[in-house]
Structure 1
């Protein structure tokens, strides 16, 4: 029986239209029955039939479909699948699709298929797929949705990267829980408003201008909504999404969040790259993560109403004059404030829970004297691209593990070493692009070189491209400058006993074993030069 199944599949997927096979009959009712029937072109009296592209597969299974025949033909496939004939010939496409489905299980077991990936099949239309795959629950494809509305058991649908403009009828998929429709041409959210079982909806990169699911929306189960990279200017009644937990509105044109009641379950809100000018935290009482990068925020309020707020990012507010009460953020654990004209942070008092602070390009010239007392539990501090000359206020940060000071005005290596000695847990240090180090390393690309502003303040632990450039730079150094570089690194490695990476370069065991020798050689040369100068005088 299995050999007969293999024969039929081979015949259906063969590119040879003249392939021949003897007629086979199997009558065992306990097993699937596979029969090759003559083609339309074959004479009824032939003892052997020529199998063509229109061959018919007749399958009988007493286990799955009691004593009934399920007939699959390429004509049947043509009724279900429509392909882009400009890219591929229909017969070839039909055979490829048949082969993809058959690779999952034998034809007589197709009713057991739960998940199917039909991506990259050049499909343009799909109709009545449930007639051959009644048990399908998860589908990945590139097509319109006309043929999906009968797949009532479907739970996961990925229909990204198409030209779909309408999801009319999608509400018939009553068991659908996850829908990914990224990068299509959707202009309205109304069709999704009645999908009461939907949990995750991804409409990223479409053509939405209004976020409106209708006045009688039934999205009671929706928890995750991604509508980033659209053209949304108006948010209408999003508070009706009563159980929403994550909302991504990045890269739209939203100017204000006009809510009528709090979104009590929302925990993650991303609304970067919009036109928001004010933010009221009282409408998001259970928020844990908030990203507001690249807006026009000049004023925010009621952050003290968000008792569990942990991660906040308010980078790059377009040089807006700011009336920011930073004290409202003192309950956070992670804070990104880079790219704003803050100048000083004297108002950051009692930030005892803050562990990560990024405050780059903030036009700061000095730090408050009590900085370590007000932020005592910092483990990561990024103050790159400011105008700082001293890090003395940092010397009591006993939990600090990563310190990034790229692009400041540090000049005195002895002061730096003295203040860093007390940071016993420091593992990562970056002082590149400072006067104290600029001639020792290959230049960085700079804070404004990245086309993606979100990442321009992030200093990578390991940047292979920069390391290769720096190796070239090392080879170009004269011997005196190479010795100075080695001495410079040795001083910090000796001062910070747990340091594992400095200025973008890994510190090896060999580096540590050579530290004392390099420093002693430096001092000997220094004393020797002093003695020589004295003798000449």
Structure 2
């Protein structure tokens, strides 16, 4: 190809790119028609870069602005009927201008660029709050949210569980993929049913004594070496300890409500340890693959013989059980 041809090709390429950009810009500026009586408005992936023009919506209850280009929370003060606001995956850096949304029950600010939890004190009715994949380093700014039942702070930079003592109604707490080293400061969350802490830096199971209603505990991808600290969690149904450093199965014999025990990819050598699970009447699903003892050719048959009550081992149905059983 000659130099002239190269220049021509490059020029044509630039023209094509410019055309695409112009089309995207026109699409971004496209007039959006919304019924003034609409209760739900979904503007997902519309290249919106500013929240504006919603003042006429006097009956709106749900506003979804997912996957847009919004940088600031603003111009929502007239939407007092709003109960759900979804700003997932935008470019927001600060929580602000939400004081008027006193009826808000669900707020999703996941996948933004927020570093500080703030500006929520007026949202007294808030029940569900999502801050997945932001830049948050500290749990704070939630003390006024006494109706909160669901809190998702996964994939941030949090180092410590703290400042949740007034959030006594929380039932589901998600703190996975952070930098947490200890399970602590949860005594006031007596209604907690689900605690999710995968992919942190936890080495010891503790701090759960007061969580008598805990049903699901997720601790995969940590550094747990021993199963302990579950003496008072007799309602536990799911225990996830995949990808840890366990050398023994112990400390679970009393968990009569346990249906799921997950401990794949640990350092379990002794097949006899499986007997710790033998007397759990509701046990249905067990994961033990990717352990030293699972390398044996007789591994599967031995586990099924030791645990006749289970329906699935390592995601495969045991003989005699089907998807319809």
TM-score class, shorter: 0.7 to 0.9
| Alignment-derived partner of residue 462 in structure 1 | none
TM-score with structure 1 length normalisation? 0.52
1:427 to 2:284 alignment: yes
Cα distance, 1:175 vs structure 2: 0.9
Pairs within 5 Å for 1:79-478: 163-165=27-29, 173-213=35-75, 217-259=77-119, 261-280=121-140, 281-317=142-178, 319=179, 324-368=184-228, 371-416=229-274, 418-437=275-294, 439=295
Between the aligned partners of 2:300 and 2:165, the Cα distance in structure 1 is 44
- Call closer, same or farther: CA 1:379–1:211 in 2, change over 3 Å: same
Structure 1: give runs of 5+ residues left out of the alignment.
Answer: 1-142, 145-161, 441-483, 512-537
Q: Give ranges in structure 2 of 5+ residues lacking alignment.
A: 1-23
After TM superposition, give the deviation of residue 323 of structure 1 in Å.
8.7
Change (3 A) 1:239 1:391: farther
SS in 2 for 1:429: strand
Q: Give 2:301's aligned residue.
A: 490
Q: 2-side partners of 1:187 and 1:373: how far apart? A: 52
| Structure 1 contact 166–186 (Cα < 8 Å) conserved | no
Q: Which residue of 1 aligns with 2:12?
A: none
Cα distance in 1 for partners of 2:303, 2:73 equals: 54
Using the TM superposition, give the Cα deviation of residue 166 of structure 1 relative to its aligned residue in structure 2, in angstroms.
7.0
Partner of residue 16, structure 1: none
Residues 315 and 344 (structure 1), Cα distance of their counterparts in 2 relative to 1, 3 Å cut: same
**Superposition RMSD in Å:** 2.5
| Residues 372 and 395 in structure 1, CA contact (< 8 A), matched pair in contact too | no
Alpha-carbon distance change, 193 to 432 in structure 1, aligned in 2, over 3 angstroms? farther
Q: Hey, which of these two has a bigger chunk of helix by percent?
A: 1
Q: Decide which structure has greater strand share.
A: 1
Per-residue CA deviations over 1:410-466 (Å, capped at 9, x if unaligned) read: 1100122x21112121100010111110x35xxxxxxxxxxxxxxxxxxxxxxxxxx
Q: Distance in 1 between matches of 2:38 and 2:87?
A: 19
Higher relative contact order (CA 8 A, sep 6+): 2
Structure 2 match to 1:500: 311
- CA distance in structure 2 between the aligned counterparts of 1:211 and 1:499, rounded to whole angstroms: 50
Q: How far apart, in 1, do the equivalents of 2:172 and 2:120 lie? A: 25
Query: 2:17 maps to what in 1?
Result: none
Q: Radius of gyration: which is bigger?
A: 1
CA deviation profile, 1:302-328 (whole Å, cap 9, x unmatched) = 4231222111100011x3666952434
Corresponding residue SS for 1:357: strand
Indicate how the Cα distance of structure 1 residues 321 and 378 shifts in structure 2: closer, same or farther if over 3 A, else same: closer
Measure, in 1, the Cα distance between the counterparts of 2:31 and 2:255: 55
> Per the alignment, do residues 497 and 388 of structure 1 end up closer, same or farther by CA in structure 2, a change over 3 Å counting?
same
Q: Distance in 2 between matches of 1:254 and 1:278?
A: 11
1:342 Cα offset (Å): 1.6
Count of aligned pairs: 298
> Residue deviations 1:243-301, cap 9 Å, x none?
11111111100111222634111111111000111223313211111110011112443
**Alpha-carbon spacing, 1:322–1:208, altered in 2? closer, same or farther (3 Å):** farther
Task: Return the TM-score normalized by structure 2.
Answer: 0.84
Residues 173-215 of structure 1: per-residue CA shift (max 9 Å, x gap): 421211111101211113224522111111001100111125x
